[in-house]
Amino acid sequence: MNLYENEIVEWRRRFHRVPEEGWTEFETTAAVIERLESLGFAVKTGTDVINPEAVMGRNPTLVKEAEDRARRAGVPETVLRRMAGFTGCAGEIDTGRPGKTVGFRFELDCVVTGESDSPDHPPVREGFASIRPGLMHACGHDGHAAVGLGLAHWIADHLDELQGRFVLLFQPAEEGVRGAGAMAASGIADGLDYLFAAHAGCEFGPGEVGVLTHGFLATTKLDVYYEGIPAHAGSDPEKGRSALAAACQAVTSVLGIPRHSEGASRIAVGRLVAGEGRNVVPAHAFFQMEVRGATQAVNDFMTAEAVRIIEGMATVYGIRCRIEKAGEAAVFECDEECVLILEKAARSMPAVSSVRRFTTERGSEDCSMLARRVRSKGGKAGYFCFGCRHCGHHRPDFDIQDTVSLPEAFGIFVRIVQLTSSRAV
């Protein structure tokens, strides 16, 4: 491997050891800021890249704990003040010559799952497993961020060979599709002629590259809060109003929402917590759910039906209800010009054995919110997957074979830069 590739593997393993969940990536963001600025990039962070009014699914308690942990880990107070409580950053560098403005998106956050402690698990065997119980980079975002820093280094070293401007977006809170919408709403991606993003694994194995034409499911995440009236369950139950009963009825009812004839749909309730004690009419209930759709219209139908049922059950049981949107993503639409650029870039890689176009209805991708913003302003967007043997995303034994897959991804990103802005191509 060359200098850049070795550096990328080192960054990936550093990030892997200290995973941070969405909206708490203070240590990771600080490391990215420091590296980008050392390479000559102008870096924006905090509310310059995140619109607070568009933030979803951010837990202030977890944020405060993460800020304190970052201080203890040595993150300078000046950097934390720049972040102003919001993680993520954007690095910009200008060649000083006319040309396209090309943007790249890389994620920072981890998955809320514990890492395998098996001696056969590569991060354990090679000494870079997560040191934080219950948190793990089980989706490859550590590798994505590392590739972004490697690309930044390459661009800085080859600036004289390029033209135009480059914007590298390091996005928080992709898991739960919470971060890209707030980043898009800040306007940081406005003015991009191109936006490119990628993901490790998915349905692609070693040596395979998939170029998205359109796909992923539009999705809306909802947090539901019910508040009833407590009472003694034995002596005067008629004085109470059960939030638990309302939540149970709501959950079973939303799971029965009819599917839509115009495309695939999904609905899931992943968490339900309710009640105070055995002999108390339960006054509080909380559940987390999501809907997804093959089109925005299908997703909007599922969302509207879920809200109607949730609010209706609150009325039936005589309790109060609050619904918060905790995340959202759109269907990802790619432009043919970007598809062609990605295909050419991938086919130029000696280690790539297969390049194919694909569409998918497996999961969602919140970079779609950035892509939608870029396209609404006249720019174009593209997305690809680079393969690995990952054992399944969000699993404790997830891995990406970083010495093989990340150099491949890095090479494709470098070729994208050359194809969109090189003075020699």
- CATH code where residue 236 lies: 3.30.70.360
In terms of domains, do 287 and 399 share one? no
According to the model, what pLDDT value does residue 423 have? Answer: 61
Say how far residue 222 (Cα) sits from the centre of its chain.
17
Structural domains in the chain (count): 2
Q: What is the DSSP letter of 97?
A: S
Q: Which of 299, 328, 357 is at the close of a domain?
A: 328
In terms of domains, do 294 and 338 share one? no
Q: What is the DSSP letter of 158?
A: T
In terms of domains, do 109 and 167 share one? yes
In terms of domains, do 134 and 18 share one? yes
CA nearest to 153, candidates 349, 5, 288: 5
According to the model, what pLDDT value does residue 259 have? Answer: 85
Cα–Cα distances in angstroms (integers) from residue 174 to residues 107, 366, 414, in the given order? 7, 6, 24
In terms of domains, do 198 and 310 share one? no
Cβ atoms of residues 131 and 18 within 8 Å: yes
In terms of domains, do 187 and 268 share one? no
Cα(175)–Cα(219) distance, integer angstroms = 12
HSE-CB of 98 using CA atoms within 13 angstroms: 0
Cα(370)–Cα(168) distance, integer angstroms = 13
CA nearest to 251, candidates 309, 295, 322: 309
Domain of 31 in residue numbering reads as 3-216+331-421
- Quickly list DSSP for 118-144: -TTSHHHHTT---SSTT-B--SSHHHH
Q: What percent of the chain has pLDDT over 70?
A: 99
Cβ atoms of residues 120 and 7 within 8 Å: no
pLDDT in tens, the chain (425 residues): 699 999 999 999 999 999 999 999 999 999 999 999 999 999 999 999 999 999 999 999 999 999 999 999 999 999 999 999 999 999 999 999 999 999 999 999 999 999 999 999 999 999 999 999 999 999 999 999 999 999 999 999 999 999 999 999 999 999 999 999 999 999 999 999 999 999 999 989 999 999 999 999 999 999 999 999 999 999 999 999 999 999 999 999 999 999 888 899 999 999 999 999 999 999 999 999 999 999 999 999 999 999 999 999 999 999 999 999 999 999 999 999 999 999 999 999 999 999 999 998 888 999 999 999 999 999 999 999 999 999 899 999 999 999 999 999 999 999 999 999 876 44
CA nearest to 110, candidates 96, 124, 129: 129
CA nearest to 189, candidates 203, 171, 208, 175: 171
**Dihedral of alpha carbons 328, 22, 388, 144, sign:** positive
Q: Which of 289, 311, 328 is at the close of a domain?
A: 328
In terms of domains, do 30 and 138 share one? yes
- CATH code where residue 413 lies: 3.40.630.10
In terms of domains, do 308 and 348 share one? no
In terms of domains, do 50 and 154 share one? yes
Cβ atoms of residues 321 and 286 within 8 Å: no
Q: Which of 328, 356, 376 is at the close of a domain?
A: 328
In terms of domains, do 136 and 12 share one? yes
In terms of domains, do 30 and 136 share one? yes
According to the model, what pLDDT value does residue 425 have? Answer: 46
In terms of domains, do 33 and 172 share one? yes
